Amino acid sequence: MWRTPSLLLLAVFFVSIVLAPAAASPLQTADALVETELVENIEEGMALLQEHLQTYPEDGHALWRLAKAHLYLGDRMEDSILETYERGLEYAEQAVELVPDSPDAHYWQASLMGRVGQTRGVLNSLAMVSPMRAALERALEIDPDYASAYYVLSLLYKEAPGWPISIGSRRRSLENAQTAVELSPRDPEFRYNLADIHVYNNNPRQAIQNLEYLLDTDYIHDYPDIKESAQTLLAELTE
């Protein structure tokens, strides 16, 4: 027979309800799936976002996450790569219109511009440089501590030809790489990028210092690809 619960049991029940973490939203769940970088999970995350957008078609935060998912997927495809990036860019541009004060929307717009330009070829890459920089700078206007935007700017200044053809700059590339590391010192990709750009700026000693620091961290083993690249570059600099 069912019995009336004791006051103690009731107290435990209500405390558990108060302390239990809120269920993840569809957007958080989708983003977590995409972050695994596994194709099947990325596709599952995209399906969740598409389902969400059927009910909330003007959710700009869902749209920039869908743009991000297309970039992650395109990076792992062998066919229809350009089509995937272009579709992702369309979602990012919709997100920028709907949530113009979201740094994420501008950041993923810039990132997909870069992927589209690279995939189409050199001339198209050059055409993307100015709007890509503008999108990244807008993200930083909204959030000056957006480390990923500084990281991508450092790559943009490194890869673009210099004046008078484009905006390429060794100094600006290094400045942005340093800022990204200052804002997110435990990000191994940012640290490796800083070392690589020190090489680009003919600063081998500083590059070696950053690589040795990175390889001595307690988390580098979780990033085997970056660890291997860092070991290879360090060997090249110290041989």
> Token match 């070991």: residue?
231
Q: What is the pLDDT along the chain (239 residues), one digit of tens a residue?
A: 333 344 433 343 333 333 434 456 899 999 999 999 999 999 999 999 999 999 999 999 999 999 999 999 999 999 999 999 999 999 999 999 999 999 999 999 999 999 999 898 866 778 899 999 999 999 999 999 999 999 999 999 999 999 989 999 999 999 999 999 999 999 999 999 999 999 999 999 999 999 999 999 999 999 999 999 999 999 999 98
The H or E element that residue 68 is part of is helix 60-74
Long-range contacts of 80-85 (CB under 8 A, 24+ apart): 81/119, 82/116, 82/119, 82/120, 85/112, 85/115, 85/116, 85/119
Residue 99 C-alpha from the chain's centroid? 18
Q: What amino acid occupies position 153?
A: L
CA atoms of 156 and 140, how far apart (whole Å): 15
Q: How far apart are CA 148 and CA 223, in angstroms?
A: 18
Q: d(Cα 196, Cα 80) in Å, to the nearest integer?
A: 31
- For the chain, what is the largest distance between any 2 Cα atoms, rounded to a whole number of angstroms? 86
Q: Which domains does the chain have, with CATH numbers?
A: 25-144 (1.25.40.10), 164-239 (1.25.40.10)
At 137, which helix (H) or strand (E)?
A: helix 122-142
CA 41, CA 149: separation in Å to the nearest integer?
25
Count CB neighbours of 99 within 10 A: 19
Can you give the pTM of this predicted structure? 0.86
